[in-house]
Amino acid sequence: MIKAGIVGGTGYTGVELLRILARHPDVEVSVVTSRADAGVRVDTVYPSLRNFVAVSFSQPEIDTLAQCDVVFFATPNGTAMQMAEALLARGIKVIDLSADFRLQNIPEWEQWYGMTHACPDLVKHAVYGLPEVNRAAIQQAKLVACPGCYPTAVQLGFLPLIENRLIDTQQLIADVKSGVSGAGRKAELATLMSETGESFKAYGVGGHRHLPEIRQGLSHAAGETVQLTFVPHLTPMIRGIHATLYAQINASADTLQAIQALYEQRYQHEAFVDVLPQGAHPDTRNVRGSNNCQIALHQPQGGNTLVVLSVIDNLVKGASGQAVQNMNLMFGLAETTGLDIVALYP
């Protein structure tokens, strides 16, 4: 059994890791940390885990975590970079769900995240944990930086077009809608039900931290710096991300049928990326609670603008599920182990 530790077990990505790992046949969660709730049983804070998780929260100390084979960071930005080196030094694999190791460009990271990076040299050794792009590297990795929720939905939607040079990479638009759980589990006015229920809004249009991450991934695939307009929105639901992507097809572009075939081929061996029949409209509910990404293609009025619809559960494929998928790869397990979860519908 793989002994796993979770640092920051009281956020939504932490409890979601517990939901998934509680049923993982090859993993035993031996440490779950929380400064605030140290000493309290995890299932006291989360009654949904009663009969599934028996451990109590402990203080986030290296010595306690040292018993683990792998440590997940489900922490706010800035925590993993403080502890990762010490854990790696002890031969413990690290999977960071926060943003600390996502951007290779340190000055850009420090500008967007507003702090000085604690271990810039370690960043170049971190592998960006998008298995559909970096599978081989992840299998060898000691430190994996899990992608953000928006970047996962947007990159999986754009990749086949960019890898095949079918669109104008200088004019990408990603209009993305997220459920409120993406804002995390913290006391805030802005995400009260009275504030977000029955209402819809855009936010961070001027600039969102996931923009440089998406740009880094797509630019790498394009072999050139792409230009992207990214507009995130807050949707009155708890889970789910729906990315509506717009791209201008190149003059030389294939027919929609050909592009559809290309998407199906690109993802045919991917267990968690599902290309729907041409013209479909994916619902976020159809991936709720599952690690799936469902994608559909449209070319309205046969025009020059291609529309890609890409949906995921922000807490699963957008965070904890993808983290477990990465763990499976890092430990040589079948990639789908513990992730055979059917979406909860209705």
Residues with active-site annotation: 149
Among 157, 282, 321, 338, binds a copy of itself (CB under 8 A): 282
Q: How far is CA 180 from the centre of its chain?
A: 15
235 lies in the site for a copy of itself, by CB under 8 A: yes
For residues 38-97, which are near a copy of itself according to CB under 8 A? 46-52
CA 160-270-326 angle, 5° bins: 105
Cα 73 to Cα 102: distance, rounded to the nearest angstrom: 13
Cα 11 to Cα 17: distance, rounded to the nearest angstrom: 10
Among 66, 86, 231, 261, binds a copy of itself (CB under 8 A): 231
Shortest CB 211 distance to a copy of itself, Å: 8
Which pairs from 217-222 meet CB under 8 Å and 24+ separation? 217/128, 217/130, 217/133, 217/147, 217/151, 217/155, 218/154, 218/155, 218/158, 218/159, 218/162, 218/169, 218/172, 221/133, 221/155, 221/159, 221/162, 221/163, 222/162, 222/165, 222/169
Our CB check for a copy of itself shows the closer of 74 and 123 to be: 74
Shortest CB 284 distance to a copy of itself, Å: 5
Structure tokens belonging to residue 252 = 């030389």
108 lies in the site for a copy of itself, by CB under 8 A: no
CA nearest to 320, candidates 97, 163, 30: 97
Of the ranges 25-33, 261-269, 324-332, 337-345, which one interacts with a copy of itself (CB under 8 A)?
A: 337-345
169 lies in the site for a copy of itself, by CB under 8 A: no
Shortest CB 106 distance to a copy of itself, Å: 20
Our CB check for a copy of itself shows the closer of 61 and 188 to be: 188
The residue assigned the tokens 């409209």 is 281
294 lies in the site for a copy of itself, by CB under 8 A: yes
Cis peptide before 47 (omega within 30 of 0): no
Among 119, 163, 283, 331, binds a copy of itself (CB under 8 A): 283
Shortest CB 143 distance to a copy of itself, Å: 28
Cα 261 to Cα 276: distance, rounded to the nearest angstrom: 11
Among 64, 139, 219, 286, binds a copy of itself (CB under 8 A): 286
35 lies in the site for a copy of itself, by CB under 8 A: no
For residues 170-209, which are near a copy of itself according to CB under 8 A? 171, 173, 175, 177, 179-181, 183, 185-189, 191-203, 205-207
258 lies in the site for a copy of itself, by CB under 8 A: no
Give Rg (Cα) of the chain: 20
